[in-house]
Every structure is written in C-alpha cells, then in structure tokens.
C-alpha cells in the first residue's frame, strides 16, 4: 500500500513538472502573449503597474525609481519594450545572462513579479542621457544601414526587438563589445556574460572606435 502511494506521488510529480521543465526557456511569442493578457483591460494593466512599482523599490538604487539609470554602466529600463524586459529578467533568473546582482535578485521573483516589473518600467518615460555630439554624428551611417532594420530608424525597437533609443552610451558600448568579443572567441558560450546568436555576427568586425560612435548615436535618438 505504501509503495502504491509512493508511485502515485511520483506520477503526479512527473505530470506537473514536465510542462514546467519544457517551459523553462519560453520563446518570445509566449512572453508576448503573457504580457498582452496581463494588459488586456485598463484595470488589469493599472494593477500590474502598481504592483510593479512596489517591487521596483529594490531596483531603484541602480535603475532609478522611474527606470532612468543612476549609473553609466546600468541600463535605463524606462520605456523599454515589456517583452524584451521580461525575456531578459527570465535570462537573469535562469542564468543564461550573467550579472551577480541581477542573478541574485531575479531568481527570487515570482512569475507575476517579473511580468509586473516589465509592464511598470515600460510605462515610464526615458530621460535623454548626455551625449558626445561629434561621435554621434559619426555613428549615424553605420546605425542606419546595419541596425535600423531590427531596432527601427528611431531606435524604438518593436515587439521582439529591444528599444535602444536614449540608452546609456557606456552600457551600450560595453554590451556591444561583449557581443563582438564573444563572436571572435572560441571559448565556451555558456560561460559568457551574455550571448546572442543574432547580435554577435552583426558587430563582429567593428573596432572600439566604431562601437563608441554607434553607442553615442543610439544614446541621442529620441
Ligand atoms: C546594484 C545595482 C542593480 C540593482 C539593485 C538592480 N539592477 Fe538591474 N541591472 C544592473 C546592471 C549593472 C545591469 C546590466 C548588466 C549587464 O551588463 O549585462 C542590469 C540589467 C538589468 C536588465 C536588463 C536591461 C537591458 O536593457 O538588457 C533588467 C531588465 C534589469 N536589470 C532589471 C532589474 C530589476 C527589475 C531590478 C530590481 C528588482 C534590478 N534590475 C536591480 C544593476 C542593478
Ligand atoms: C536581425 C536583427 C538585429 C539587427 C540587424 C541588430 N540587432 Fe541589436 N539586438 C537584436 C536582438 C534579437 C537583441 C537581443 C539580444 C538578447 O537576447 O540578449 C539585440 C540587442 C541589442 C542591444 C542590447 C540592448 C540592451 O538593452 O541590452 C544593443 C545595444 C543592440 N542590439 C544594438 C544593435 C546595433 C548597434 C546594431 C547594428 C550594428 C544592431 N543591434 C543590429 C537584433 C538585432
């Protein structure tokens, strides 16, 4: 009798755990659907923003209470595409993207926390960072020919691509350098701070100077 209950418990566990395991890396479409459902009525959107604001207190030292970063190496979250935000929070929480603070914070979030934070930050507006105008002018041509097809002419992104307009130039520069250096290295991808099969080949051939120009151009896009 005892064994029967053990077996039954195992079967029930397997039944419930399988969908969780296979849903571990949700794709962008699944995340988009979750965000859409959460904002399906003005009331549910409002509740989500309020709950997100509560949670965001933890984040404000670095990202600012309104999602405008207080430090050059920290990205702005204000106005960011909520599907992109949710995707990145998921990546921090399961370790696909690595940053000590972000990994420790994100692994304690419930699914609801993650969604609410994404919707909250999306509802805030971006404040423009200070930019070196000479560099920015030099970055325009590369941006328009190589980047705008996904991130948009004005850098506003879309449902599946990050908004980059008004992003902190030092953060963008560091991020692009990471993608470039990954593309030019043979070492184990899973140990890298951040991977992207899409971004890595795109920035593979740029010099530091060119990445600086592109980062300045992106930062002044409104
Ligand atoms: C101690 C500072 C610090 C705190 C506190 C912090 N973050 Fe971060 N966050 C960072 C840094 C630094 C990065 C960039 C990591 C990198 O370079 O990849 C980041 C990146 C992110 C990103 C990715 C943004 C992008 O454009 O890709 C999201 C989303 C994010 N944080 C959300 C949060 C949330 C939500 C909280 C609060 C629960 C929080 N962070 C608290 C420092 C912090
Ligand atoms: C084919 C589509 C595509 C093109 C073209 C493209 N990107 Fe991206 N970009 C992406 C995707 C997808 C991501 C998200 C990567 C991830 O999952 O972390 C991204 C992420 C980024 C990020 C990180 C945003 C953040 O908040 O951390 C930056 C910065 C960026 N791209 C800049 C550029 C620049 C500069 C160019 C041109 C040289 C460019 N991208 C061209 C698809 C594209």
Write the pLDDT tens digit of every residue in 26-72.
789 999 999 999 999 999 999 999 999 999 999 999 999 999 998 99
Structure tokens at 26: 């949700």
The verdict on the CB of residue 164 being under 6 Å from ligand 2 is yes
Give the model's pLDDT for residue 17.
43
CA distance 170 to 164: 13
CA distance 179 to 192: 10
Q: Could you tell me the distance, in angstroms and rounded to a whole number, from the CA of residue 191 to the centre of ligand 1?
A: 19
Which residue has the CA at smallest separation from atom 41 of ligand 1? 59
Give the model's pLDDT for residue 94.
95
Torsion of CA 128, 45, 74, 54, to 10 degrees: 120
Q: For residue range 129-166, what is the model confidence (pLDDT) as tens digits? A: 999 999 999 999 999 999 999 999 999 999 879 999 99
Please determine whether the domains at 27-122 and 133-219 fall in the same fold group of CATH: yes
Q: Could you tell me the distance, in angstroms and rounded to a whole number, from the CA of residue 149 to the centre of ligand 1?
A: 26
Considering the four listed CATH numbers 1.10.600.10, 1.10.4160.10, 3.40.50.280, 1.10.760.10, the one that applies to the domain covering 27-122 is 1.10.760.10
Atom from ligand 1 closest to the CA of residue 117: 35
Domain extent listing, the chain: 27-122, 133-219
The verdict on the CB of residue 214 being under 6 Å from ligand 2 is yes
Atom from ligand 2 closest to the CA of residue 146: 37
Structure tokens at 122: 């999306």
Instruction: Over range 102-126, report the average pLDDT.
Output: 96
Q: Could you tell me the distance, in angstroms and rounded to a whole number, from the CA of residue 95 to the centre of ligand 1?
A: 13
CB 122 within 8 A of CB 80: yes
CB 34 within 8 A of CB 86: yes
Structure tokens at 6: 């053990």
Atom from ligand 2 closest to the CA of residue 206: 38
To test the pocket of ligand 2, the residue of 82, 162, 201, 211 to mutate (highest count of ligand atoms within 8 Å of its CB) is 162
Q: Could you tell me the distance, in angstroms and rounded to a whole number, from the CA of residue 42 to the centre of ligand 2?
A: 31
Give the model's pLDDT for residue 24.
55
The verdict on the CB of residue 159 being under 6 Å from ligand 2 is no
Please check whether the domain covering 133-219 is classified as CATH 3.40.50.410.
no
pLDDT at 13 > cutoff 60: no
The verdict on the CB of residue 137 being under 6 Å from ligand 2 is no
CB 117 within 8 A of CB 153: no
Q: How far is CA 186 from the centre of its chain?
A: 25
The verdict on the CB of residue 217 being under 6 Å from ligand 2 is no
pTM: 0.91
DSSP 2-60: HHHHHHHHHHHHHHHHHHHHHTSS--HHHHHHHHHHHTSSHHHHHHHHHHHHHHGGGGH
Residue with tokens 């509740």: 47
On the 0-12 / 13-18 / 19+ scale of CB atoms within 10 A, 134 is: exposed
Which residue has the CA at smallest separation from atom 10 of ligand 1? 74
Q: Could you tell me the distance, in angstroms and rounded to a whole number, from the CA of residue 192 to the centre of ligand 1?
A: 17
């Amino acid at each position: 009798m005892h064994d029967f209950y053990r077996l039954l418990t195992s079967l029930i566990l397997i039944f419930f755990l399988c969908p969780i395991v296979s849903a571990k890396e949700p794709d962008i479409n699944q995340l988009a659907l979750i965000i859409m459902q959460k904002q399906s009525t003005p009331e549910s959107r409002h509740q989500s923003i309020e709950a997100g604001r509560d949670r965001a207190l933890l984040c404000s030292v670095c990202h600012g209470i309104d999602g405008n970063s207080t430090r050059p190496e920290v990205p702005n979250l204000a106005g960011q595409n909520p599907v992109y935000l949710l995707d990145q929070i998921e990546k921090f929480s399961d370790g696909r993207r690595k940053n000590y603070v972000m990994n420790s914070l994100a692994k304690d979030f419930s699914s609801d926390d993650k969604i609410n934070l994404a919707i909250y930050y999306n509802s805030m507006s971006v404040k423009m960072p200070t930019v070196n105008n000479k560099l920015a002018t030099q970055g325009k041509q590369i941006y328009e020919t190589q980047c705008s097809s996904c991130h948009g002419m004005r850098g506003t992104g879309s449902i599946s691509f990050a908004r980059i307009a008004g992003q902190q130039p030092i953060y963008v520069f560091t991020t692009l350098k990471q993608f470039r250096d990954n593309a030019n290295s043979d070492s184990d991808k899973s140990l890298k701070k951040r991977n992207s099969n899409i971004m890595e080949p795109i920035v593979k051939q740029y010099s530091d100077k060119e990445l600086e120009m592109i980062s300045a151009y992106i930062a002044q896009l409104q």
